[in-house]
Amino acid sequence: MAILKVARMGNPILRQVAVPIPIEKITSPEVVRLISDMLDTVAEYDGVGLAAPQVHHGVRLVLLCFDQQEGFEAWINPVITPTTDETEVTTEGCLSVPDLRGEVRRPSAVRVEAYDHTGQHFVRFLEGFDAVVAQHECDHLDGVLYVDKVDTKTLSFLKEFRRYTESTDGLEEEE
């Protein structure tokens, strides 16, 4: 088990476009180890998602949790496409941008195509908060942070966000 160091905004790794993982490498010891270490890391930070570039690995791998009971799933080489013109606004946070929250408008439904940790290809349709988490994490693979898309007037420090904002049902990627 290893808890990895999380890169913070300003670290160039967060701005690079991550490279695909060759399909035949998905079950290799290196990738299995990285997924395992990322699971330890995201659990330690109490996040709902983590992208490999956030732990200094420039590869197209994200972990996401859509259901506490089911735990995390790994997506490798995800391709995400909006399936609606409708958008919704969600309060987001990011382990790489500690102690900040802000509102981001994103498409409210997406189609995802990716490989799971066993190398199985899949297609999923997500909406609502799940779609937000998926888009936030996949953005990391293209060097995009939520602060690039945030409504800057809503940016808050976490302490002030909790003090002045009624709703806290946002993307609580870190505590």
Q: Which residues in this chain contact Ni ion in the complex, by CB under 5 A?
A: 94
Residue 113's SS3 state is strand
Instruction: Give the residue closest to Ni ion by C-beta.
Output: 94
Residue 26 vs 94, nearer CB to Ni ion = 94
Residue 21 vs 132, nearer CB to Ni ion = 132
Nearest approach in angstroms of CB 117 to Ni ion is: 20
Report residue 93: phi and psi, to 5°. Answer: -140, 175
The DSSP H or E segment spanning 27 is: none
**Rounded Cα gap, residues 161 and 158, in angstroms:** 5
Residue of 103, 137, 173, 174 marked catalytic = 137
User: Any idea what the Cα angle at residue 109 is, between residues 143 and 89, rounded to 5°?
Assistant: 70
Q: Which two tokens stand for residue 30?
A: 């290196």
Nearest approach in angstroms of CB 77 to Ni ion is: 18
Residue 35 vs 139, nearer CB to Ni ion = 139
**Rounded Cα gap, residues 48 and 134, in angstroms:** 10
Q: Which two tokens stand for residue 148?
A: 């690039």
Question: Has 24 been annotated as catalytic?
Answer: no
Nearest approach in angstroms of CB 174 to Ni ion is: 9
- Catalytic sites, residue numbers: 137
